Amino acid sequence: MTPATGRTLRKILAQYQKELLGDWLQTQLAASTLRPDLMRENELREQSRELLALLQSAAQNGNLEQTDGPEWAGIREFLARLSRSRAQQGFSSAETATFVFSLKQPLFTRLRTEFAQDAQGLADEMWIANNVLDRLGLYTTEMYLKGREEVIQRQQREMMELSTPVVQLWENILALPLIGTLDSERTQVVMESLLQKIVDTGASIAIIDITGVPTVDTLVAQHLLKTVAAARLMGADCIISGIRPQIAQTIVHLGVNLSDVTTKASLADAFSIALKRTQAKLPPQMGTTS
Amino acid sequence: MEKIPILKMGRFLLVTIQVDMHDQLAMQLQENLTDRIVAVRARGVLIDISSLEVVDSFIGRMISNIAAMARVLDAETVVVGIQPAVAITLVELGLSLEGVRTALDVDRGMAMLQQQLAGQR
């Protein structure tokens, strides 16, 4: 048995680069996964050419059994860049991986003509080529997912920053309109910004408005109570407002104890009681219209 | 040996905790404070922890204990100057200092005690 050396594979990659590229492009352009709406043909041609050149140089210098060596760093970097840009262009992960996998057909055709008489050699060499392309394809998918995850994480961070405004309604009165679900990470951010604002403004009452919180379960309620407790430690009373009828029902059904906290149905009610408690004086032009 | 100073301000006592607490210091503070409350017939105790950046369950419990002792001696305790990070830590530890009054700073704490004293008369 001849050892699986990959010598022929290297030779083909070096000698028939142009022909391979031509065949490969033809396959890709004919395939159903082609997305002319997302990408122009010459861009695809450029990427194919670059990948083939990188594959050739990597295969020439590096080990075909392991695609994580330093010789493969160039092609890995190229694939990472490619999958990230394809993720942003709107390709699916299958379409992105197919870009690499579609090289198999032209490459295997070359191998077959090369090993016309030698079935054993052909099988060995094909196995190597198959392995290399599989690994590169899987790597592409991995990078694609990573690119997607980065996008998601960035959006999460941005949402987090946008979603916790603390506004001063009046002297000594803060309002915290919450929008979206409260998870533990967000609660932490909400708490921090609220407490910091209490320190900055010296407020004695904080109104937490949950009109924009879609559902309140035991966890969300617990987070709310934590925020209230932390604000109390800073010497500020909390009023929870904007409790919708369904949420009131859920809270009671869940057995959440909100009896220590002042609750109001609307922000207006909460504000008026906060004004009363702080004994705030309205400026004359506001209070004496009637 | 470090010692936590207890200052008398009118009918109130002001305790400013500025060093890391440990068992012995806490015991000593409890002893000194209860002595002083009785000696000056204090009606209120202000504990200022604004210079504490880190708290643990030990300090949380100690503060609760001091408040309970002071209440027995008819003096209201107000804890003032809790930092945001400290407040979050205490809540996460499950120590929300129930039964202890809190205020943002010494000024407000003092006002709170005075108001209460006026109400009792």
CATH number at residue B91: 3.30.750.24
Higher pLDDT, B6 or A287: B6
- Please indicate, yes or no, if residue B77 is contained in any of the structural domains: yes
Name the residue among A78, A81, A42 with its Cα closest to residue A57. A78
- Please indicate, yes or no, if residue B119 is contained in any of the structural domains: no
Q: What is the CATH number of domain A167-287?
A: 3.30.750.24
pLDDT at residue A290, rounded to an integer: 41
Q: Yes or no: say if A61 and A71 are a contact pair by the CB < 8 Å rule.
A: yes
Q: Which B residues 33-92 touch A at CB under 8 Å?
A: 79-80, 82-84, 86-88, 90-92
CB contact under 8 A, A233 and B96: yes
pLDDT at residue A67, rounded to an integer: 74
Task: Give the pLDDT confidence of B55-77 residue by residue, as tens digits.
Answer: 888 888 888 888 899 989 989 99
Q: Yes or no: say if A8 and A28 are a contact pair by the CB < 8 Å rule.
A: no
Q: Yes or no: say if B6 and B13 are a contact pair by the CB < 8 Å rule.
A: yes
Q: Which residues, in sequence order, are bridge partners of residue A208?
A: A176, A240
The domains of chain A are located at: 7-157, 167-287
Token pair recorded at residue B51:
């210079």
Higher pLDDT, B7 or A40: B7
Task: Evaluate the CA torsion angle A26, A28, A33, A36 in order and state its sign.
Answer: negative
What average pLDDT does range A248-261 have in this prediction?
Answer: 86
Task: Map residue B18 onto helix, strand or coil.
Answer: coil
- Please indicate, yes or no, if residue B113 is contained in any of the structural domains: no
Task: Map residue A177 onto helix, strand or coil.
Answer: strand
pLDDT at residue A175, rounded to an integer: 94
Distance from the Cα of A278 to chain B's closest Cα (Å) equals 13
CA A54 to chain centre: 29
Task: Give the pLDDT confidence of A144-183 residue by residue, as tens digits.
Answer: 888 888 888 988 888 777 777 889 998 889 999 988 877 7
Token pair recorded at residue A198:
């209490």
Task: Map residue B14 onto helix, strand or coil.
Answer: strand
Phi, psi at B45, each rounded to 5°: -125, 130
CB contact under 8 A, A233 and B109: no
Q: Nearest by CB to A198, from B86, B92, B104: name it.
A: B104
Pick the range with the lowest mean pLDDT from A176-185, B25-34, B68-77, B78-87: A176-185
Buried/exposed code over B39-50 (b: 16+ C-beta within 10 A; e: otherwise): eeebbbbbbbbb
- Please indicate, yes or no, if residue B20 is contained in any of the structural domains: yes
Number of domains within chain B: 1
Same fold, A7-157 and A167-287: no
Domain A7-157 is in which class? mainly alpha
- Please indicate, yes or no, if residue B112 is contained in any of the structural domains: no
Q: Which residue in chain B has the smallest CA separation from A198?
A: B104
- Please indicate, yes or no, if residue B115 is contained in any of the structural domains: no
CB contact under 8 A, A235 and B102: yes
| Full residue range of the structural domain in which residue B34 is found | 6-103
Tell me which long-range contacts A219-223 makes (C-beta under 8 A, separation of at least 24): A219/A182, A219/A183, A219/A184, A220/A181, A220/A182, A221/A251, A221/A254, A221/A256, A221/A258, A222/A256, A223/A182, A223/A183, A223/A184, A223/A187
- Please indicate, yes or no, if residue B89 is contained in any of the structural domains: yes
Q: Nearest by CB to B84, from A229, A232, A234: name it.
A: A234
pLDDT at residue B103, rounded to an integer: 92
> DSSP string of A85-133?
HHHHHT--HHHHHHHHHTTHHHHHHHHHHHTSS-HHHHHHHHHHHHHHH
Q: Does A204 touch chain B (CB under 8 A)?
A: yes
- Please indicate, yes or no, if residue B68 is contained in any of the structural domains: yes
